[in-house]
């Protein structure tokens, strides 16, 4: 029995199927294993990673070993501060940190090339050459600007003088002045042409002087690129994943020949399954949890369970789980009521109460959605057209335009942020503040759509005002007044540590699952496109 495998005792029962990794409630067996790892982490974390700075995702895999003993394996995602190998955790699929391995040696060669490139770019002689030519060019360009300005000024003066002489009919003087003016003009044009020629010659000299450096720099960069591509290809060749059928597939094949995202295969789940298959273990259940402080951009809570990431893990785990009897994706079997409650209707627009878990518009899977259902009821209308959308899990007011003119007018109001919106929510915790404003810029998490990240550099501005209505029994009822309308804006602003640090009850992406997401679009005020009057729609939350 490998030392990584630890027995599980006094369990209450086995799951019927293996865990669907992208949306799950941890089975009690996996929770039991995770709690044991959490208990051990209190003693293990000293010196191996600074969890106060930034935490880590850990995973557990409950399995039978080769002789039928029930136990669990543990792993961490990525690398811990001090490396890849710890007696408590399964090893990586491939150890990039092995000092004797090709990757570390290749990294060393790349670092040497980087140093050579930096040294050449900062070469004192090269910098001196550039400075000399740049200053000379600046001087000539200044002379050229002065010559052009002088030519323009004198041209105006000459024109005025000839006009005055012609007006006074001083014929002989005018003839002499024209000759003098023509000579002056030709001379000034000659000066301008001469300076332009000097600039062109100097630029050619500069190009010739810099050419040896540029050739050397280009050769070094091409060498670095070739080495980097070779190293990347060699690295991909090491990531060959197993599945429960005993089959093997390379990471490039799993991503259809495209370059996999950085860190693919380094998450806890692939490490655990790879180790289990290599040692003929039978996987039973799995769970991943966060330990330590949250990253600044993401929302991660200490001790809480999280699904596997999608962009890096979905192709890999999709293959590795083949041969196991896996739970169905619970998202594919969400039950929603197809009846849509009408809040308001006239000849131009329709206002509905969208149920929770119903899509606003058609998605990848053919399931009931607001737009299709409305189209069925209005087959001859030039619309209907969605004016805005609500997240799938959010219920409440959604506006439909019956024609394109109304749609355009209403969309303009949303774009110009003149629409007044109020959402009602229940937070999974008690807030001490009564009201305030949250400004956290958001962008999509490319590795884990549709989750959003807080990103001060690349995020789009997102602004929310809030008012606490009631704090009771560990929950907070709150009104949100979003100024912008970013995806998951209220959910992230509620859950993020720099926001309210208290997730919305039932938020399975940024908090904990419950009976539903307790977020409801309760009030909306627009200017009616035809009536020109402000109109407010209200819809009480069902929670």
Catalytic residues: 391
Please count the residues of the chain: 543
- Give dist(CA 86, CA 88) in Å, integer: 5
CB burial readout 459-476, b (16+ within 10 A) else e: beebbbebebeebeeebb
C-beta neighbour count of 340 within 10 angstroms: 19
Half-sphere exposure of 481 (CA within 13 A, CB side): 11
| Per-residue three-class SS string for 150-161 | HHHHHHHHHHHH
Contact (CB, 8 A) for 398 and 370: yes
C-beta neighbour count of 245 within 10 angstroms: 11
> Nearest CA to 25 among 367, 307, 375?
307
User: What beta strand segments (E) does 389-434 contain?
Assistant: 395-401, 420-427
Cα torsion through 507, 511, 514, 520, rounded to 10: -30
> Nearest CA to 223 among 100, 97, 116?
116
CB burial readout 256-269, b (16+ within 10 A) else e: eeeebeeebbbbbb
Q: What are the C-alpha distances in Å from 467 to residues 436, 457, 479, 528?
A: 7, 28, 5, 27
In terms of DSSP bridges, do strands 463-472 and 475-482 run parallel, antiparallel, or are they unpaired? antiparallel
The DSSP string of 171-229 is: HHHHHHHHHHHHHHHHHHHHHHHHHHHHHHHHHHHHHHHHHHHHHHHHHHHHHHHHHHH
Question: The tokens of 28 are what?
Answer: 């009690």
Which residues does residue 7 pair with via DSSP β-bridges, in sequence order? 71
C-beta neighbour count of 398 within 10 angstroms: 27
Give the SS3 label for residue 298.
Answer: coil
Contact (CB, 8 A) for 489 and 504: no
Contact (CB, 8 A) for 356 and 517: yes
Question: The tokens of 314 are what?
Answer: 């979905």
> Nearest CA to 307 among 296, 317, 297?
317
Give the SS3 label for residue 293.
Answer: coil
Question: The tokens of 153 are what?
Answer: 């000024």
């Amino acid at each position: 029995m490998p030392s990584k495998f630890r027995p599980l005792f006094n369990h209450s029962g086995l799951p019927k199927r293996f865990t669907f990794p992208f949306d799950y409630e941890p089975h009690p067996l996996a929770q039991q294993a995770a709690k044991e790892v959490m208990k051990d982490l209190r003693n293990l974390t000293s010196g191996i990673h600074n969890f106060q700075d930034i935490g880590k995702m850990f995973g557990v895999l409950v399995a039978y070993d080769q002789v039928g003993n029930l136990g669990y394996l543990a792993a961490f995602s990525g690398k811990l501060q001090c490396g890849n190998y710890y007696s408590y955790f399964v090893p990586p699929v491939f150890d990039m940190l092995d000092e004797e391995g090709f990757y570390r040696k290749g990294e060393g060669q790349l670092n040497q090339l980087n140093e050579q490139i930096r040294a050449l770019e900062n070469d004192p002689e090269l910098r001196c050459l550039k400075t000399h030519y740049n200053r000379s060019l600046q001087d000539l360009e200044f002379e050229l600007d002065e010559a052009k300005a002088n030519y323009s000024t004198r041209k105006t003066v000459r024109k005025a003088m000839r006009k005055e002489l012609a007006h006074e009919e001083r014929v002989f003087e005018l003839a002499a002045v024209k000759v003098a003016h023509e000579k002056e003009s030709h001379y000034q044009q000659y000066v301008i042409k001469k300076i332009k020629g000097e600039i062109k010659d100097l630029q050619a000299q500069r190009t010739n002087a810099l050419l040896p450096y540029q050739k050397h720099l280009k050769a070094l960069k091409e060498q670095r690129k070739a080495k980097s591509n070779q190293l990347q290809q060699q690295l991909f060749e090491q990531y060959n994943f197993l599945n429960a059928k005993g089959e093997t597939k390379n990471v490039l094949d799993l991503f259809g020949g495209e370059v996999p995202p950085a860190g693919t295969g380094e998450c806890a789940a692939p490490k655990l399954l790879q180790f289990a298959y290599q040692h003929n273990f039978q996987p039973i259940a799995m769970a991943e949890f966060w330990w330590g402080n949250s990253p600044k951009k993401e929302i991660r809570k200490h001790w809480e369970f999280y699904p596997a990431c999608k962009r890096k893990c979905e192709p890999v785990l999709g293959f590795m789980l083949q041969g196991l009897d896996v739970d169905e994706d619970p998202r594919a079997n969400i039950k929603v009521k197809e009846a849509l409650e009408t809040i308001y209707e006239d000849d131009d627009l329709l206002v509905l109460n969208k149920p929770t878990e119903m899509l606003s518009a058609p998605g990848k899977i053919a399931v009931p959605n607001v737009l299709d259902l409305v189209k069925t009821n209005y087959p001859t209308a030039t619309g209907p057209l969605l004016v805005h959308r609500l997240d799938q899990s959010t219920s409440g007011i959604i506006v439909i335009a019956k024609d394109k003119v109304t749609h355009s007018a209403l969309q303009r109001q949303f774009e110009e942020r003149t629409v007044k919106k109020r959402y009602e929510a229940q937070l999974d915790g008690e807030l001490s503040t009564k009201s305030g404003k949250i400004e956290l810029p958001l962008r999509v998490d490319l590795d884990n759509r549709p989750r959003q990240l807080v990103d001060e550099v690349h995020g789009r501005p997102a602004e929310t005002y809030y008012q606490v209505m009631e704090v009771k029994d560990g929950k907070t009822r709150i009104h949100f007044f979003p100024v912008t309308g970013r995806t998951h804006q209220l959910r992230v602003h509620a859950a993020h540590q720099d926001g309210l640090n208290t997730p919305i009850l039932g938020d399975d992406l940024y908090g904990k699952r419950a009976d539903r997401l307790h977020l409801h679009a309760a009030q909306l005020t627009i200017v009616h496109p035809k009536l020109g009057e402000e109109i407010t729609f209200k819809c009480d939350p069902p929670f």
